[in-house]
Amino acid sequence: MHVLILGGTTEARRLAEILHGTVRTTSSLAGRVAAPKLPPGEVRIGGFGGAEGLARWLREHQVDAVIDATHPFADTMSFHAARAAADAHVPLLALRRPGWAPVDGDDWHMVDTLEEAAGTASALGRRVFLTTGRMGLASFAHIADAWFLLRSVDAPEPPYPPRMEVLLDRGPFTLDGEREVLRRHAIDVLVTKDSGGAATAPKLTAAREAHVPVVVVRRPPAPDKVPVAPTPEEAAAWLTGGAAALPRTG
């Protein structure tokens, strides 16, 4: 069996580790991170050329199944995967970590876009911890009356806010570490995407403890009628015949 795993997420790497030695895997990374953590098995970096290019690649490399383990906000790739898998008649599974949910004490402000996040954040505070990644900073570039702390794996490129400090770091993050970041930089508002998962969740706990409001960007729509597994272990089970028990989108 040849399985194509889309995405450089923690879940994608874990799935490749589970399958290593028993199933041939090719992990496809977008190439947006300069020094990504490489999973075991075969690895390719770069795009496919849209849905048509991906469908052609699936046929040429005799892929038996596709696991879409991309980031929850990589919606373009997810739709390309759904179309390509259908065109190439290859089974597709979405490995999608559950989203976060607020608990007592949280002060969350839900928005649909980064543009809305920028407006909401600037109305809530003046020292913003921006954890949405280096892509999309143009949405915040017009804000001159707030200071931003951007955390990302790689250095950003302009346009970005005129008053900004960059913290280069890669998760998982600890609760004590997140508390220190908020304290040291006097953060009064946090901006994040609803990425889900445990690796970056401690910042939400730290914000709740410090009574810091959080602007949360909702996830974009996902392709309809694609089976979904919340964990790499369940995705591996799907490959061995457990597909019927998995929920579907749409």
pLDDT in the model for residue 241: 78
**164-176 CB burial, b ≥16 within 10 A, e <16:** bebeeeebebeee
The conformation of residue 36, written as its DSSP 8-state character, comes to P
11, HSE (Cβ side, Cα atoms, 13 Å): 25
pLDDT in the model for residue 243: 46
Name the residue with tokens 């600890």. 174
Domain 108-217 falls under CATH 3.40.50: yes
pLDDT in the model for residue 245: 45
Domain 2-98+220-245 falls under CATH 3.40.50.720: yes
Q: Which of left, alpha, beta for 145 (phi over 0: left; psi -120 to 50: alpha)? A: alpha
pLDDT in the model for residue 138: 96
pTM of the model: 0.88
pLDDT in the model for residue 36: 80
pLDDT in the model for residue 223: 94
CA distance 103 to 117: 20
Query: How many C-beta atoms surround the C-beta of residue 113 within 10 A?
Result: 13
What residues does CATH 3.40.50.720 cover in the chain?
Answer: 2-98+220-245
Total residue length of the chain = 250
Contact 7, 69 (CB under 8 A): yes
What is the distance of C-alpha 6 from the center of its chain?
12
Q: Average pLDDT by consecutive 10-residue portion of the chain (250 residues)?
A: 93 96 94 80 94 98 96 94 97 95 97 98 98 94 97 94 95 96 98 93 98 98 93 94 51
pLDDT in the model for residue 171: 86
pLDDT in the model for residue 249: 52
The conformation of residue 238, written as its DSSP 8-state character, comes to I
Q: Which pair of structure tokens corresponds to residue 209?
A: 């403890």
Contact 1, 239 (CB under 8 A): yes
